[in-house]
Structure 1
Amino acid sequence: MLLLIVAAGALLHQPMLIPPLAASAALVHSTPALPLAQPRSLVGGHLLAALTGFAVLAVLGSATWAAALAGGLALAVMMLSRTQHTPAVATAVIVVLQAPRPARFLPLLLAATVLIVLAAMAATRAKRGGPAYPSYWW
């Protein structure tokens, strides 16, 4: 799974997106029953964090202090929407610091998070006898 994330990030010239996605994959595969690891939090958290980052970028520009603010706001948005996924805070920071094009960044992020969910589902199905992932969808 991590190899696919790193390869996709390198091929699409988005290497900064690799660390938060790698942290998400590690969280989902090591603790699949946690609320933070469920698809709602994983996919929704990253997407809401990215959107928060784009909003901060549009209003305040690309600055270190704006990136820090985006991280904090992203966490607040995730908490309010019940989609807490702590690695996604880094996604908001990355958006502000790198200023990627939303039309390219958001589909890549969505695809990567869905891939993590599918890989976790396949891994738990292959283990037989353990708890199935996800514990819940919504």
Structure 2
Amino acid sequence: MTFWQKLKGRTQSPPRVGGWEIFWSWLASFLGLAAVGILHFKYLDPQGMMFVIGSFGASAVLIYGAIRSPLAQPRNLIGGHILSALVGVTAFRLFGQEPWLAGALAVSTAIALMHLTSTLHPPGGATALIAVIGGDSVHNLGYGYVWMPTALGAFVMLLVALIINNLPKNRRYPEFWW
């Protein structure tokens, strides 16, 4: 098969989801991100939103909108974010004087480790990159970034996913734990 033949794809697009699926995905993502935001704004830091890292938006798409995806399962959500945060902080500490290098190493190493540990979660790449490019508010956290906002935020989102995704009869989450 040639390079150009590979670019044509193999299958058709999946069918559109129904209105109720859209509603439940919307509700779950709203409640999950609102829970993380309220926890931060009301109890941690009313001035900033450090607890709400950008990669949580992408996690919301997976754990509330693509709940059957292997990439959306609890092991992937929690493990992918924690490993990636560890890698990102380490890359910044070792190579932060060259942010282009630290960022590239953080993301690529996070991907490799997520593959090795069967915790691949695409938003983890952003979590690693945020540890490098997040500025002083992130850098000052050091390895604390791994636990708060990353791990705690992911656990809050998981708790919401476990509740909301299992309310309707036709939705079930998770597909597997480990």
TM-score, normalised relative to structure 1: 0.86
- Relative contact order (alpha carbons < 8 A, sep ≥ 6): 1 or 2 greater? 1
Q: Distance in 2 between matches of 1:104 and 1:7?
A: 20
Range that drifts further, 15-24 or 89-98: 15-24
1:94 to 109, 130, 140: 130
**Mapped pair 1:122 → 2:153:** no
Give the conservation status (yes or no) of the 8 Å contact 1:5–1:22: no
Range that drifts further, 101-110 or 86-95: 101-110
Counterparts in 2 of 1:78 and 1:102: CA distance versus 1, 3 Å:
same
The SS at the match of 1:56 is helix
The residue identity in structure 1 corresponding to 2:146 is: L
Shift of 1:106: 2.2
User: Identity of aligned pairs, percent?
Assistant: 32
Name the residue aligned to 1:50: 85
Structure (1/2) with the larger helix percentage:
1
Give the conservation status (yes or no) of the 8 Å contact 2:37–2:49: no
Computed over aligned residues only, the root mean square deviation of the Cα atoms, in angstroms, reads 2.0
The residue identity in structure 1 corresponding to 2:119 is: T
The SS at the match of 2:172 is coil
Give the conservation status (yes or no) of the 8 Å contact 2:103–2:129: yes
TM-score, normalised relative to structure 2: 0.69
Name the residue aligned to 2:73: 38
Q: Deviations over 1:12-59 (max 9, x none)?
A: 435485320121012110111111000100000000001111221221
Gaps of 5+ in 2: 1-31
Q: Distance in 2 between matches of 1:17 and 1:69?
A: 23
Q: How many residues get paired?
A: 137
